[in-house]
Amino acid sequence: MPEAGGIYRSIKLAAQLFGRPLESLAAAERRRVTLVAARQQEIETLILETPEAASVMLPAALIDASLMEIRRRYADDDAYHAELERLGLAASSLREAVTRDLVVEAALERAAARSAPVSDTDVEIFWQVNRHRFRQGETRLLRHLLVTINEDLAGSERQAAHARIDAIRARLLREPQRFAEQALKHSECPTAVHGGLLGRVPRGQLYPQLDAVAFALAEGMVSAVIESELGYHLLRCEAIQHERLLRFAEARQTIREHLQGQRQALCQKAWIKALRRRAAGRSPDANRW
């Protein structure tokens, strides 16, 4: 039977690599998980022998939260416990494996903390060299109104719902500035309480039927009736923010975080590489020649 740490590592990798529970993976996906898990185990074993790992103190609440995250990957408690039983993994063993994983993460964070801080000059140089990469795509400030279809509810059948939204649209074509008022009165979308306001929306965020219409509207324009699986929709474009290059002040923090992340990753890799070298030096095979 595989040890608890290996089982947990495989469960976690299944979620990270494929976004699904371990038992749902195809054979090729399972092989991929097994290969990555073996590499991770080697590294984790080296990390757990370090002073950085030995000094880690984990709060119980953090361990509990990690266990709950695993549970949420399953449809219900029965499916969760059935999978643990199938794998031969007791709750206590899983907790130990999760604790080990968190200790490794904490030790890696300590190694990353040794990286040099990013200076203002570093940020400015990166901006000057890469400013063309900092583009903000076009966004639309939109309002939305939804009338749902329910054939089992009187007044919400397809024909009745279509008649209702047609009447609303007729009013809005005469007075488009009343969209917020009409959404508050008639919309069945949660945004109704805010006058149907969706906020600034980039391309690709809405349902495809809505997205195509939204980005064809002129400012102040009310859409035709749009049908989706949710029902009938109306959109109004309040304002258009065209694609533009970000200003340095807008990009500064993103650049700093990017550079700091790079330095921390390099610091972690160098630390792990040094651990491997030391481990190789202690190996009996190291003195064979």
pLDDT tens digits, residue range 19-70? 888 878 999 999 999 999 999 999 999 999 999 999 999 999 999 999 998 8
Are 158 and 151 in contact by the 8 Å Cβ rule? The answer is: yes
CB burial readout 189-207, b (16+ within 10 A) else e: bebbeebbbbeebeeeebe
Name the token pair of 114. 């040794």
Name the token pair of 78. 């029965």
pLDDT by residue for the chain (289 residues), tens only, comes to: 457 778 888 888 888 899 888 878 999 999 999 999 999 999 999 999 999 999 999 999 999 999 998 888 788 889 888 888 888 888 888 899 899 999 999 999 999 999 999 999 999 999 999 998 898 889 999 999 999 998 888 888 999 999 999 999 999 999 999 999 999 999 999 999 999 999 999 999 999 999 999 999 999 999 999 999 889 999 999 999 998 889 999 999 999 999 999 999 999 999 999 999 998 887 665 444 3
CATH number of 4-113: 1.10.4030
What are the domain boundaries of the chain? Answer: 4-113, 118-132+246-289, 135-244
Residue 285, CB half-sphere, CA atoms under 13 Å: how many?
Answer: 3
- pLDDT score, position 69: 87
CATH for 135-244 (2.60.120.20, 3.30.70.920, 3.10.50.40, 1.10.15.40): 3.10.50.40
Q: Which residue has the tokens 């080697």?
A: 42
Are 200 and 139 in contact by the 8 Å Cβ rule? The answer is: yes
